[in-house]
Structure 1
Amino acid sequence: MLYQSNRILCPIDGSDLTDEEVMNRYGQYFGMEPWVSFSGCPAITLTRVNERTSSLSSDRTEQCIKIDVGCYIESTISPAFPSSPTKLTCVSVSDAEYGQITIGSNTTLQGTSICSYKSVSIGKNVIFGPNVVVMDCSGHSIDRRGEQDELSRLKIAPVCIGDDVWIGYGTIILPGVSIGNRTVIGAGSVVCKDIPEDCVAVGNPCTVKYSLKN
């Protein structure tokens, strides 16, 4: 497989931009709604995966990443806990449409890494602790690596995170997972199956510990 990446917005190249300058320069291009607040610059990347070389285009970028009003995106080392630049990556396999990332209003990302081959949907009022990883694809097959049909064997399944969810530090959310509204995911969890709404879940694998319903 051949990976080609086009870094649209880079933390290094854009490190001297204020959050207002980032919004004004890139907000409309990426389908962001005013107002989105930035601390530092996130890494926004388009990646194309093919069996052969092909040209990269950012013409459809506005269809890839949509960030609603009131979101806060942290990409500096300022937080009290270890954190890194937020990374939003949309991937196109065999010249198909790029994966989509949709982030609802008033959501906070802190060094969050999101990689979408198809769809990662995040609701409103969601808080991500630092260094959370969200992915909707296995990334590669577990056997017969490098064979001609490897791309067709990728396992891709959308991820959906509901409204008012809290995701703890260092959580990993794997392909095909849905997390219900108002749920809390404990720090360091590996979420590999659906988690219902109104509960606290934690662990590897992440399991429900107790309900938050009255």
Structure 2
Amino acid sequence: MPTYRSKFVSLPDDQDFIKQVEEGPFQTDPEHVANLLRERGITVDDSAVISNVPRICFTSVHDEAGYSVYKEMNKLEIEEFRGVISIGKNSFIESDSDRPPFHSASTKFTSVKANANPPGKITIGDRVQMMGVAIVAYSHVEICDDVGIAPMVTIMDCDGHTTEGRGTDTEIARLEALPVKIGSGSWIGTGAVIMKGVEIGKNCVVSANSVVVRSVPDGSIVMGNPARIVKSLKTQQTAPLSREATE
């Protein structure tokens, strides 16, 4: 097939990473895991809590033309990915929780470098809470401050393939990656899917299992597939909660 994927780096599948986790003071000690992520180029604020081990993947995809002509694209350079994933102050990132009452899975962050483009960025703001979320970035996925994301949510800024001409030597070049942004104070319900180019405004609610393909204005509740606005919240309903306890 004329589309190639370079050797990718996946944590904790990286054997050195596994060894360091297992030989650490506690296998799931948040600070121990955060330090190991920092060593691999992920920016984690000192006040952020990483509960259990998230799955981090750095990968590159390129067309056959790039594979044969641009030899420098044939090898994944880990340093290119340093800093593309960042986690802000007082954020809580949970994976594989055994605590009731909700389902849980590994939180997965994937940064993709397509052809000669820079790797995709994942920016997580301050006081963000997420559990078992999958984010794939070819361009930029931004989660603003005070956002809550329930388990089994998927956020993608690219489809990952074309609808026509799949398997041709220009497929990667024809991919469309459009940034995704989730505004501050918003809540994303269990199982929702946020697609490329979507900007969710401030203080929005995305209902469980919704598929969001269009941008959402501030203070909206959306649901369905495709998601549509079912209610607009009043100003007093969207006032941010006091965060003094977490500052």
- Which residue number corresponds to residue 186 of structure 1? 207
- Which residue number corresponds to residue 77 of structure 2? 57
Counterpart secondary structure, 1:153: coil
- Which residue number corresponds to residue 168 of structure 2? 147
1:142-178 superposed Cα distances (whole Å, 9 cap, x missing partner):
1111111111111211101100010000000000000
5 Å matches for 1:171-210? Answer: 171-210=192-231
- Which residue number corresponds to residue 38 of structure 1? 50
**2:28, 2:51 within 8 Å by CA — same for their partners in 1?**
no
- Which residue number corresponds to residue 2 of structure 1? 4
Counterpart secondary structure, 1:82: coil
**1:123, 1:161 within 8 Å by CA — same for their partners in 2?**
yes
1-side partners of 2:47 and 2:80: how far apart? 22
TM normalised by structure 2 equals: 0.82
Once the two structures are aligned, what percentage of the paired residues are identical? 32
2-side partners of 1:8 and 1:81: how far apart? 25
**1:108, 1:128 within 8 Å by CA — same for their partners in 2?**
yes
Counterpart secondary structure, 1:151: coil
1-side partners of 2:79 and 2:54: how far apart? 20
Which structure has the greater CA radius of gyration? 2
Moved over 4 A (4+): none
| 2:129 counterpart of 1:108 | yes
2-side partners of 1:61 and 1:26: how far apart? 12
Counterpart secondary structure, 1:200: strand
1:107-142 superposed Cα distances (whole Å, 9 cap, x missing partner):
011100000000001100100010100000010011
TM normalised by structure 1 equals: 0.94
* Unaligned ranges ≥5, structure 1: none
2-side partners of 1:17 and 1:185: how far apart? 31
Of Structure 1 and Structure 2, which has the larger fraction of its residues in strand?
1
Q: Aligned-pair distance for 1:9?
A: 3.6
Letter in 1 for 2:4: L
Cα RMSD after superposing both structures: 1.8
* Unaligned ranges ≥5, structure 2: 68-72, 236-247
2-side partners of 1:20 and 1:57: how far apart? 27
Q: Aligned-pair distance for 1:74?
A: 0.7
Letter in 1 for 2:86: K
**2:157, 2:195 within 8 Å by CA — same for their partners in 1?**
yes
- Which residue number corresponds to residue 92 of structure 2? 72
1-side partners of 2:44 and 2:81: how far apart? 11
2-side partners of 1:17 and 1:95: how far apart? 36
**1:172, 1:188 within 8 Å by CA — same for their partners in 2?**
yes
2-side partners of 1:83 and 1:3: how far apart? 29
Letter in 2 for 1:158: P
Q: Aligned-pair distance for 1:10?
A: 4.3
| 2:139 counterpart of 1:118 | yes
**1:158, 1:175 within 8 Å by CA — same for their partners in 2?**
yes
2-side partners of 1:61 and 1:30: how far apart? 8
1:86-126 superposed Cα distances (whole Å, 9 cap, x missing partner):
00000001132100000000101110000000000110010
